[in-house]
Chain A
Amino acid sequence: MILSVDHVSVAYGKLNAVWDVSLGVGKGEIVTLIGANGAGKTTLLNAIVGLLPVKSGAVYLGERNITGRKAHKLVKLGIGYVAEGRGMFGSMSVLDNLILGAYAQHGGWTSQLGDATWLLRREDLKRRIEHVYQLFPRLTTRENQKAGSLSGGEQQMLAIGRALMTAPKLLLLDEPSLGLAPNLAREIFGLLNRLRDDGMAILLVEQDAVASLRIADRGYVMEMGRIVIEDTAKHLINNDKVRQAYLGQVWGSASETPAQEGENQI
């Protein structure tokens, strides 16, 4: 397992939002976490990446216990995070957003000198940026545009591209398809597939349960801060309870098309 979450609880003050959750993500695997609004999915992600404190339990990256480490230190260990709402640096250009993605890779004292060192590491930066542009050709033409002026889909691509600049082993994504047109969402999911094939471990939180179960290898269903079902994606997609609660298949019909469209329009 690249990521192991071991009996983790997370609280906001006295209010527990995540109860005793355990899950794992292996190399070259997409694991999805589905559940209704307020089930604690985002809270769990924020705790894994160190933006929220873990109340009890432990988080491991490989063999290393990373519980309680600050977010900015986890990046170097190989965790990339695409937060809900994308977290664009809206006043900065697409290129600057990408350059910031590589911030952690050059954190030595020399980096404090400013522009001189930026020239030194330019080759390496260029290679990474080229890689992101290959994955998202659309960003190339937007290079000098302000990130805030991009469309929703482009912003999502930039958010993922920026996270990839950190060269992560493990990528966590929170609602990457939110607010996107169906074809854009498909494009994003297609990319996740490719990243998985390259060996990346991916933890995907999604409201669009159908789409995420389709590309995922395994899935967890969260309810009221707890994991209630855990299975392979194939089994989950055919699980009656899951279908009823998350796939909109009240009548148990075999066709998934109407549900998928309905979800995408949200």
Chain B
Amino acid sequence: MPHFIRGRGKMLAIATLVVLLSIVPLLGNNYYTSVLLIIGIHAIVTVGLCLLMGYTGQVSLGHAAFYGIGAYIAAILSKTYHVDPWLAMVVAIIATAAFAFAIGFPVFRLRGNYLAMATLGLGIIIWILFRELDWITGGQSGFLDIPTLSIGGFAFDSDFRFYYLVWGFCLAVMFISQNIVGSRMGRAMRAIRDSESASQSLGINATLVKVKILALSAAYAALAGSLYAYYVGFIDPPPFGFLFSIRLVVMAVVGGLASIWGAIFGAASVRLLTEFLHPFGDIDVVLFGLIIVVVMILSPQGVIRGLGDLWRRISRRLTPS
């Protein structure tokens, strides 16, 4: 049996998730559908970040840049150059992955805090480019009237339809990632995280593995970015800035850095919290900082794992020994 559905509990949880997800839009409330849709998009990016940070141990504080590059390439190709949106999406994914692959080699000469600073700087540079290259990107006034995806005559032009598209992609990304984590590549990733020099003296090309995972996570981000552009139909620089990079890290941490399925939980918690805190402006960033600190102290493996441990402890106490 493939390892990603080993364990009945996990299988049950995933089945429940799939059923729940498919029911929601049938309830007919557009607001929840759109919130859950955005959660799906963010979960795709978060999974990539989990592969990079949680499994391979490499920090990225600039992942919003890849998300943005994907969105802008898809938007510009499909609108300005009238490329088919699906093709534009594929090009966006490949181009973003190639870009990440190329910058990966110099960037991964750095480690730890320096790596964090470099990715942070990279994210800011890309964001400034979105803002300043206004003859291509529309600058601060944004990029309007992006066409949407369609198959034959069937257009994904409602929240209801787009919802299934996004979660279809999201689940596919989850399964691919879970498979990678359990493979030889996944073992190499964890080896690099635990001890890079030891991994090298066993024949693992640590730099290449890190660069490949960066490229893969950039590809996920670009997929999510182009879905976002097609869904909203309008993009401008703010959603692709530094704050979103931080938010992505929060999603990954809350869901559990080394947990693929936790990414959905992380993306959902952060998104819902943002919705609730909307009236208070940017104060959510402060709260997110606090959340990271609390999660890292109380349950460094993520909230889900933490709740699971808590449950086990309580049930052990309740059963008479």
Write the residues of chain A forming the contact surface with B, with a CB cutoff of 8 angstroms: 49-51, 70-73, 75-76, 80-81, 83, 86-92, 96, 99-101, 103-107, 111-115, 117-118, 162-163, 166
Q: Please give 7 more A-B residue pairs, beta carbons under 8 A apart, in addition to A90-B195, A114-B179, A115-B3.
A: A70-B200, A88-B198, A89-B198, A100-B188, A100-B204, A103-B204, A104-B203
B residues adjacent to A (C-beta < 8 A):
2-3, 179-180, 182-185, 187-188, 190-191, 193-195, 197-206
**A75 contacts B201, C-beta separation under 8 Å:** yes
Q: Shortest CB–CB separation between residue B302 and chain A, in angstroms?
A: 14
**Does the CB pair B204–A72 fall under 8 Å?**
yes
What's the minimum C-beta distance from B50 to chain A, rounded to whole angstroms? 15
Q: A103-B184, A112-B185, A114-B182 are in contact. Are A92 and B204 (CB under 8 A)?
A: no
Contact A162-B202, Cβ < 8 Å, known A87-B197, A89-B194, A89-B195: yes
Give the chain A neighbours of B204 by CB distance below 8 A: 72, 100, 103-104
- Asked if B198 and A83 sit within 8 Å, CB to CB, the answer is yes
Q: What are the 4 A-B residue pairs with the smallest beta carbon separation, nearest first?
A: A104-B203, A87-B198, A114-B183, A75-B203
Chain B residues with CB under 8 Å of A70's CB are 200, 205
Inter-chain CA distance A76–B203, complex, in Å, is 7
CA distance A71 to B196 in the complex (A): 11
Contact B203 A115, beta carbon cutoff 8 Å: no
CB distance from A132 to the nearest CB of B (A): 14
A166 pairs with B202, CB closer than 8 A? yes
Contact A115 B182 (CB under 8 A): yes
User: What is the distance, in angstroms, from B17's C-beta to the closest C-beta of chain A?
Assistant: 23
- A88 near B194 with CB under 8 A, answer yes
Residues of the A chain whose Cβ atoms lie less than 8 Å from the Cβ of B184: 103, 106, 111-112, 114, 117-118
Question: Are the C-beta atoms of B3 and A92 separated by less than 8 Å?
Answer: no
Q: How far is the CB of A21 from chain B (nearest CB, A)?
A: 20
Cβ of B191 and Cβ of A100 under 8 Å apart?
Answer: yes
**Cα-based distance from A86 to B179 in the complex (angstroms):** 29
Residue in B closest to A172 when the chains form the complex, CB atoms: B201
Q: Are B199 and A100 in contact (CB under 8 A)?
A: yes
The distance from the CB of B108 to the nearest CB of chain A, in whole angstroms, is 14
- Distance, CA A96 to CA B199, complexed state (A): 12
B200 touching A71, Cβ below 8 Å: yes
Docked Cα-Cα span, A70 to B198, in Å, equals 13
Given the complex of chains A and B, what is the CA–CA distance between A166 and B206 in angstroms? 17
Say yes or no: A92-B203 contact (C-beta < 8 A), given A103-B188, A114-B183, A114-B185. no
Chain A, residue nearest B258 (CB): A91
Q: Determine how close the nearest CB of chain B comes to the CB of A160; give it in whole angstroms.
A: 12
The B interface, classified by DSSP as helix, strand, loop or mixed, is: helix
Can you list 9 pairs linking A and B with CB atoms under 8 Å apart? Answer: A50-B200, A70-B205, A71-B200, A75-B202, A86-B198, A87-B195, A92-B190, A100-B187, A104-B203
Of A103, A105, A106, most B-chain CB atoms within 10 Å: A103
Q: How far is the CA of A51 from the CA of B203 in the complex (A)?
A: 12
Q: Is the interface of A mostly helix, strand, loop or mixed?
A: helix
Smallest CB gap from B188: residue in A: A103
**Distance in Å: Cβ of B47 to nearest Cβ of chain A:** 17
What residues of B have a CB within 8 angstroms of the CB of A103 in the complex? 184, 187-188, 191, 202-204
B202 touching A104, Cβ below 8 Å: yes
| Chain B residues near A72 (CB-CB < 8 A) | 200-206
Are B197 and A83 in contact, CB atoms less than 8 angstroms apart? yes
Decide: B180 and A166 in contact? CB cutoff 8 A: no
Cβ of A241 to closest chain B Cβ, rounded Å:
33
Complex CA distance for A253 and B185, rounded to whole angstroms: 56
A74 to chain B, nearest CB (A): 8
CB distance from A12 to the nearest CB of B (A): 15
The interface residues of chain A lying within 8 Å CB-to-CB of B185 are 112, 114
CB distance from B189 to the nearest CB of A (A): 11
CB distance from A235 to the nearest CB of B (A): 32
Residues of A within 8 A of B3 (CB): 115
Query: Is the CB–CB distance between A83 and B201 below 8 Å?
Result: yes
Provide the bound-state CA to CA distance between A206 and B303, in Å. 45
Specify which chain B residues have a CB less than 8 angstroms from the CB of A88 in the assembled complex: 194-195, 198
CA distance A80 to B201 in the complex (A): 7
Decide: A107 near B195, CB < 8 A? Known: A89-B190, A112-B185, A115-B2: no
What is the bound-complex CA distance between A81 and B202, given in angstroms?
Answer: 8
The minimal Cβ–Cβ distance linking B213 to chain A, given in whole angstroms, is 13
Check B191–A89 contact: CB distance below 8 A: yes
Closest to A117 in B: B184
Q: Which A residues touch B182, using CB under 8 A?
A: 114-115
| Chain B residues, CB < 8 A from A91 | 190, 193-194
Q: Find the A residue at minimum CB distance from B180.
A: A114
Residues of chain B within 8 A (CB-CB) of A90 are: 194-195
Q: Establish whether residues A51 and B197, one from each chain, have CB atoms under 8 Å apart when the complex forms.
A: yes
Chain B residues within an 8 Å CB radius of A81: 201
Alpha-carbon gap, A99 to B191, bound state (A): 11
Which of B179, B197, B202, B205 has most A Cβ within 10 Å?
A: B202
Closest partner residue, chain A, to B179 (CB atom): A114
Give the residue among B184, B188, B200, B201 with the most A Cβ atoms within 10 A.
B201
Beta-carbon nearest neighbor of A115 in chain B: B183
Contacts of A89 in B (CB 8 A): 190-191, 194-195, 198-199
Nearest CB in chain A to that of B200: its residue: A71
Chain B residue with the shortest CB-CB distance to A99: B187
Q: Tell me the smallest distance from the CB of A152 to a CB of chain B, in Å.
A: 16
